[in-house]
Chains A and B, each alone.
Chain A
Amino acid sequence: MLSLITRFKHFTKAMRFASFAIVSFCVCSNASFGKTDSSENARAEARFKAAYLAHLLHYSTWAEEDLPSADSTVGLAVVGDDRHHFAQVLLFLIDELKITIQGRKVKVFSLAHIPDADEEKEIFKDCAVVYFLKSEENRWSECTLCDKKGVLAIGEGSKYAREGACVSIVRSRNRLMLLVNREGFTSRNLKVSSRLLRLRSAVEVYKKGGCRFLVISARPT
Chain B
Amino acid sequence: MLPFTHSVLIVSFFGGFLFGLLPASVLGQVPLAGIEANATLPKLELIPLERNDDALTPFEKSELRRLFGLDLRELARRPVHGVLGYEQEYWRNPASVHVLRPDDISLNGHVLTVEAFRGVPGMHVTRGTGYDDFAIMRNFSGSSTEKFLAMVDGREVLQIMGGTVNATGEGVPLEILDRVEIIRGPGASIWGTNAVSGVYNVVTKSAAATQGDSVRLVIRDDGTFLGDYVHGGQAGENAFYRVWFRDQEYAEGTLNSGLPAKDDGYFRKAGFRYDKTLSRDLDFTFAGALGKRRVHHVLDLSQRLLYMNYDPDKEPDAVDNPHALAAMETFLGMTLPAIVPYAFAVGGEDNLKTLVPSWPISRASATTMPAGLGFTRYEYWGEMPHDAGHLRAKLSGVTDSDLEWTLAGYAEQYKTFLGHVGRRWDRKQYDLDFKANKLIGDRHHLAFGLATRHMDFDVEDIMTPPWGFDTNDTLFTPASPNITILDHGDSPTKFDRFSAFFQDSYEFSDSLLLSAGAKFEESDLAGTGVQPGARLSWAVNETNVLWSAYSRAYRTPSLVERYSKVSYARVWVPTSATTGFWLNQSFPGNSDLEKEETDAFEVGWRSQPRDDLTLELSLYHYDTTNAIFSGPPIYEAHDVKTSGGEFTFDYSPFHYWTLKGGASRTISKKEGVETDNFPKTLANVSSHLRLRDDLIFSQNFYYAAERTIASAYNPIFIPAHLRMDLGFIWRPDESLEIGLFGRDLLDPHHPENMYQDLELEPARVERSFLLSITKRF
Mark interface residues in B705-729 (1 if CB within 8 Å of A CB, else 0).
Answer: 0000000000000000000000000
A214 in contact (CB, < 8 A): no
Inter-subunit contact A175/B20 (CB<8 Å): no
- B636 touches A (CB below 8 Å): no
What is the CB-to-nearest-CB distance from B210 to chain A, in angstroms, rounded to a whole number? Answer: 15
B518: A residues at CB distance < 8 A: 18, 21-22
Could you tell me the distance in whole angstroms from the C-beta of A109 to the nearest C-beta in chain B? 4
Closest Cβ–Cβ distance, residue B507 to chain A (whole Å): 6
Interface residue A63 (Cβ < 8 Å from any Cβ of B): no
**Least CB distance, B193 to chain A, in whole angstroms:** 14
Chain A 183-221 interface 0/1 with B at a Cβ cutoff of 8 Å (1 = within): 000000000000010111111100000001000000000
B442 contacts A35, C-beta separation under 8 Å: yes
| Cβ-defined contact, B76 with A202, below 8 A | yes
Chain B CB within 8 A of A104 CB: no
* Segment touching B, from A36-44, A64-72, A152-160: A36-44
The A-contacting residues of B in range 1-54, CB under 8 angstroms, are 5, 8-9, 12-13, 15-16, 19-20, 22-24, 27, 29-30, 44-49, 51-52
Cβ B502 vs Cβ A19 within 8 A? yes
Do the beta carbons of A175 and B55 come within 8 Å of each other?
A: no
State which residues 508-530 of B face A: CB under 8 Å.
Answer: 508-510, 514, 516-518, 520, 522, 528, 530
User: Does chain B have a CB within 8 A of A26?
Assistant: yes
Query: Which residues of chain B have C-beta atoms less than 8 A from A109's C-beta?
Result: 46-49
Name the distance in Å between A87's Cβ and chain B's nearest Cβ.
Answer: 6
In the bound complex, what is the Cα–Cα distance between A75 and B208 (angstroms)?
34
Asked if A14 CB lies within 8 Å of chain B CBs, one says yes
> Contact at B44–A201, with CB atoms within 8 Å?
no
Pairwise interchain contact A35-B22, C-beta atoms closer than 8 A: yes
Distance between B176 CB and nearest chain A CB, rounded to angstroms: 18
In the complex, are the beta carbons of B508 and A33 less than 8 A apart? yes
Binary interface encoding of chain A residues 64-101 relative to chain B, with 1 for a CB under 8 A from any of its CBs, else 0: 00000000000101100000010111011101110000
Contact assessment for B24 and A91 in the assembled complex, using a CB-CB cutoff below 8 Å: no
Partner of A48, one of B9, B78, B398, B528: B78
Decide yes or no: A27 and B76 within 8 Å by CB, A35-B441, A109-B48, A174-B81 being known contacts: no
Interface flag for A23 (CB, 8 Å): yes
Contacts of A47 in B (CB 8 A): 60, 63-64, 67
**Does B406 lie at the interface of the complex (its beta carbon under 8 Å from any beta carbon of A)?**
no
**Cβ of B402 and Cβ of A174 under 8 Å apart?**
yes
Interface residue range, chain A: 35 or more
Residues A174 and B19 in contact in the complex (CB < 8 Å), given A25-B504, A48-B67, A51-B70: no
Q: A-B contact count, CB below 8 Å?
A: 219
Chain B residues within 8 Å of A7, by CB? 498, 522, 528
Taking CB atoms and an 8 Å cut-off, the chain A residues in 100-145 that contact chain B are 107-113, 115, 119, 123-124, 127
Contact with B along A4-19 (1 / 0, CB 8 A): 0001101100111111
CB contacts (< 8 Å) of A177 on chain B: these are 76
Given A35-B20, A204-B280, A89 and B56 touching (CB < 8 A)? yes
Closest beta carbon of chain A to B73's beta carbon, Å: 5
Q: Is the CB of A112 within 8 A of B75?
A: no
B404 sits at the interface (CB 8 A): yes
Q: Please, which residues of chain A bring their CB within 8 A of the CB of B502? A: 18-19, 22
Contacts of B73 in A (CB 8 A): 199, 201-202
- B contact residues around A21 at 8 Å (CB): 518
Given A14-B530, A23-B16, A26-B504, A36:B24 Cβ within 8 A: yes
Contact check, A44 vs B80: say whether CB atoms are below 8 A apart.
yes
Q: Known interface pairs A11-B522, A48-B75, A51-B70. Does A30 touch B16 (Cβ–Cβ under 8 Å)?
A: yes
Q: Cβ of B49: which chain A residues have Cβ within 8 Å of it?
A: 78, 87-88, 91, 108-110
**B520 and A40 contact, CB distance less than 8 A:** no
Q: What secondary structure prevails in chain B residues at the interface with A?
A: mixed
Find chain B residues with CB under 8 A from A176 CB: 75-76, 80
Are A27 and B16 CB-contacts (below 8 A) given A111-B46, A112-B44? Answer: yes
B8: A residues at CB distance < 8 A? 20
Nearest chain A CB to B379 CB, angstrom units: 45
Interface size of B in residues (CB-CB distance below 8 Å): 76
Nearest-neighbour CB distance to chain B for A61, whole angstroms, equals: 16
Specify which of B81, B404, B444 is in contact with A26 (CB 8 Å cutoff): B444
For the complex formed, measure the closest distance between the CB of A218 and the CB atoms of chain B, giving whole angstroms. 12
The answer to whether B30 touches A36, judged by C-beta atoms less than 8 angstroms apart, is yes
* Interface membership of B105, Cβ < 8 A: no
Q: Give the chain B neighbours of A75 by CB distance below 8 A.
A: 46
B277 within 8 A of A: yes
B68 interfacial by beta-carbon distance below 8 Å: yes
Contact residues, B433-452 vs A (CB, 8 A): 439-444
Most-contacted residue by chain B among A41, A119, A198 (CB, 10 A): A41
State whether B516 touches A25 (Cβ < 8 A). Answer: yes
Q: Are B79 and A175 in contact (CB under 8 A)?
A: yes
Indicate whether B281 reaches chain A with its CB closer than 8 angstroms: yes
Task: For residue A105, give the distance in angstroms from its CB to the closest CB of chain B.
Answer: 13
B314 on interface, CB distance cutoff 8 Å: no
Bound form: Cα–Cα A212–B502 in Å: 32
Q: How far is the CB of A49 from chain B (nearest CB, A)?
A: 9
Answer whether A35 and B27 are a contact pair too, CB < 8 Å, given A176-B76, A201-B76: yes
Across the two chains, which residue of chain A brings its CB closest to B520? A14
Does B692 sit at the interface, judged by CB under 8 A? no
- CB-nearest residue of chain A relative to B52? A88
Closest approach, in angstroms, between the C-beta of A129 and any C-beta of chain B? 12
- How close is A125's CB to chain B, nearest CB, in angstroms? 10
Known A29-B514, A44-B81: A92·B51 in contact at CB below 8 Å: yes
Complex Cα gap A201–B530 (Å): 38
Contact residues in B for A108 (Cβ distance below 8 Å): 48-49
Check A15/B81 contact, CB under 8 A, given A27-B15, A52-B75, A93-B68: no
Specify which chain B residues have a CB less than 8 angstroms from the CB of A88 in the assembled complex: 49, 51-52, 55-56
User: Are the CB atoms of B504 and A22 closer together than 8 Å?
Assistant: yes
CB distance from B489 to the nearest CB of A (A): 21
> How far is A38 from B510 in the complex, measured between Cα atoms in Å?
6
Nearest Cβ on chain A to B183's Cβ, whole angstroms:
21
Q: Decide: B398 and A174 in contact? CB cutoff 8 A.
A: yes
Map CB proximity to A onto B249-279 as digits: 1 under 8 Å, 0 otherwise: 0000000000000000000000000000100
Q: Which residues of B contact A77 (CB under 8 A)?
A: 46
Q: How many angstroms between the C-alpha atoms of A24 and B504 in the bound complex?
A: 11
Whether A36 lies near B29 (C-beta < 8 A) is: yes
Q: Chain B contacts of A40 at CB under 8 A? A: 507, 510
13 A–B pairs (Cβ distance < 8 Å), ordered by A: A7-B498, A23-B12, A27-B16, A47-B60, A85-B56, A89-B56, A92-B64, A109-B47, A111-B47, A174-B81, A175-B76, A201-B77, A201-B238
- What 8 A-B pairs are tightest by C-beta distance, nearest first? A202-B76, A88-B55, A30-B19, A109-B46, A173-B398, A51-B67, A40-B510, A26-B16
Please report A residues at the B interface, Cβ cutoff 8 Å: 7-8, 10-11, 14-27, 29-31, 33-41, 43-45, 47-48, 50-52, 54-55, 75, 77-78, 85, 87-89, 91-93, 95-97, 107-113, 115, 119, 123-124, 127, 171, 173-178, 196, 198-204, 212
Chain B residues packing against A (C-beta within 8 Å):
5, 8-9, 12-13, 15-16, 19-20, 22-24, 27, 29-30, 44-49, 51-52, 55-56, 60-61, 63-65, 67-68, 70-73, 75-81, 208, 237-238, 277, 280-281, 283, 398, 402, 404, 439-444, 498, 500, 502, 504, 506-510, 514, 516-518, 520, 522, 528, 530
Question: Besides A11-B500, A11-B520, 11 other CB < 8 A contacts?
Answer: A15-B520, A20-B9, A22-B504, A26-B504, A34-B24, A36-B29, A41-B80, A55-B68, A77-B46, A202-B76, A204-B280
